[in-house]
Structure 1
Amino acid sequence: MSREPYSKTIVTRWADIDCNQHMRNSAYSDWATYVRSEWLNEAGFDVRTMVAANLAPVLFEERTRFLKEILLGEHVAIDLQLAGVNHDGSRFHMRQTFRRGDTPCAIYEIKGAWFDIALRRIVAPPPGLLEASDKLERTDDFAHLVSSRE
């Protein structure tokens, strides 16, 4: 199966910058969330669709490794890759790389699951979302998640 790279380019705004004149740590999370939500929208899972399905992503862990400063007004590509998934797709590990040209500036990772809001439990994603996840480019160190704390 052909897996597709997914990337969005952003331009850092005044609101993204801290008093050290580089991108504030929480802006990485904000922009990473934006890119994941754009991926979901393009896969046909916008907010209305997710609400109708009683489905939402829930995060258990997020981590950012800062490699290079990102400054005001810089154009930064944010790549989204799948780093791991369990047998039914209910749990996932995603990695997002913030790049200025070919230079990696930060690596942002999340571990989470798909959550049924009505049932209040983790569930497998619906078929269209499962296929979209399967088409997402995988990291070089992709791993199948096997434990209950994936």
Structure 2
Amino acid sequence: MNDNIYYEGQVLWSQIDANRHLRHSAYADFCAQARSNMLNKIGLSLDEFAKNKIGPILFREELIYHREVKLDEFIKVSTELSKINTINGRFSFQHKILKSNGDVAATVNVDGAWLDLVARKLTTLPENWKPILQNIPKTSDYIEINE
């Protein structure tokens, strides 16, 4: 499907709900880890964000379920940037949770922004990070807003 995989792992007992499948909040946890792994891989670790007193926040998280995921299955999570506004620092990512056979188990869309951790207000990323951000994988319908 794609090679923008930033998390792979086994579904654990602690991630299962009463219906014996992956609990809803575990999908979000996997995607958050995939985003963190992706940022780290391109050179923007959480330590880098902390040095600049910036943190990511989410405004919206949408989970669309396609296939059931059960205990002990191995999954992969893709991460792609679908939208960015370079003026106000808002962003959107799309994740695909993939079963080991390649079937898409869920699509997860998140909208967020960058938060100045001192002023507690939205901010943009440092100018010297812009070339690094170009390395983030993008969806086929990616949108960039610069005005």
Q: TM-score range by the shorter chain?
A: 0.7 to 0.9
Map 1:1-150 onto structure 2 (within 5 A).
5-88=4-87, 90-100=89-99, 101-127=101-127, 129-145=129-145
Instruction: State the TM-score, normalizing by the size of structure 2.
Output: 0.87
CA RMSD of aligned residues (A): 2.1
Taking a change above 3 Å as real, the CA distance of residues 67 and 146 of structure 1, as seen in their structure-2 partners, is: farther
Query: Where in structure 1 do 4 or more consecutive aligned residues deviate above 4 Å?
Result: none
Task: State the number of aligned residues.
Answer: 144
Distance 2:80 2:32 in 1: 13
**What is the CA deviation profile of residues 58-113 of structure 1, one whole-angstrom value per residue up to 9, with x for unaligned ones?**
11111100100001111111000011111347110000000113211000111001
| 2-structure distance, mates of 1:114, 1:29 | 18
Percent identity over the alignment is: 24
CA–CA distance in structure 2, aligned partners of residues 128 and 16 of structure 1: 39
Unaligned runs of 5+ in 1: none
Structure 2: tracts of 5 or more residues without a match:
none
TM-score, normalising length: structure 1: 0.85
- Kindly provide the amino acid, as one letter, of the partner of residue 67 in structure 1: H
The structural deviation recorded for 1:32 is: 0.8
CA contact (8 A) 1:67 1:105 kept: yes
